[in-house]
Chain A
Amino acid sequence: DTEVTQTPKHLVMGMTNKKSLKCEQHMGHRAMYWYKQKAKKPPELMFVYSYEKLSINESVPSRFSPECPNSSLLNLHLHALQPEDSALYLCASSPRTAGLDNEQFFGPGTRLTVL
């Protein structure tokens, strides 16, 4: 299995809702990432998990809460989002922790719309 899966594919939520994005990989990778991508922009790194521990938080607002229950799963919990948070949320994994010699494999993304 050489893919990263993400659910849901699309999500529409109100500003008072609580929702979660899920990401899964079964490649034995020990690093997992969340990116946010706005239209016509490159992906922006949000969080990095290394060996199931949060190693990088790129000053992301607390309304985004990541969780790594085990080495194969990565969640992003969403609460009280703003319309400007609407974007494509990409999950990625890589064999090793953040560093050299690790191509990141990306999932198909969740397209989030906040009303």
Chain B
Amino acid sequence: AQKVTQAQTEISVVEKEDVTLDCVYETRDTTYYLFWYKQPPSGELVFLIRRNSFDEQNEISGRYSWNFQKSTSSFNFTITASQVVDSAVYFCALNPNSGNTPLVFGKGTRLSVIA
């Protein structure tokens, strides 16, 4: 079964705080891709990052960083020094190597950054 779990439904932080969004996935495939998307109130899903199952290197892009750990099937996303513009719903997604569904989405985490 392919599944993505984002246990945090909603998170509120004060501006400039760091925040980590959790993502745990399940798949029997050895080859797969993981994604993070941001959905601001405007509605568009914005692609943030893709990580393949063979690359466990952590990645940093500005204030964003991602921690991929195959041992715990987790792909967590950290925003450093959060800003009000980071307020959005964040989706973690899995692209398995089998089955007909291209992307399996988690239920999303709604992040509110308060000024």
Contacts and interface: CB of A to CB of B under 8 A. Distances in A.
Interface of A: 31, 33, 40-43, 45, 48, 56, 58, 88, 90, 92, 94, 98-109, 111
A33 B43 contact: no
B44 A108 contact: yes
Interface of B: 31-33, 35, 37, 42-47, 50, 52, 91, 95, 97, 100-103, 105-108, 110
Contacts, number: 62
B102 A45 contact: yes
B32 A100 contact: yes
23 contacts: A31-B102, A40-B108, A41-B108, A42-B108, A43-B105, A56-B101, A58-B101, A88-B43, A90-B43, A90-B45, A92-B45, A98-B100, A99-B97, A100-B52, A103-B35, A104-B102, A104-B103, A106-B37, A106-B45, A108-B42, A108-B44, A109-B44, A111-B43
Contacts of A106: 37, 44-47
Contacts of A33: 102
| CB-CB nearest 9 A-B residue pairs | A42-B105, A106-B45, A98-B102, A108-B44, A109-B43, A103-B50, A103-B47, A56-B100, A42-B108
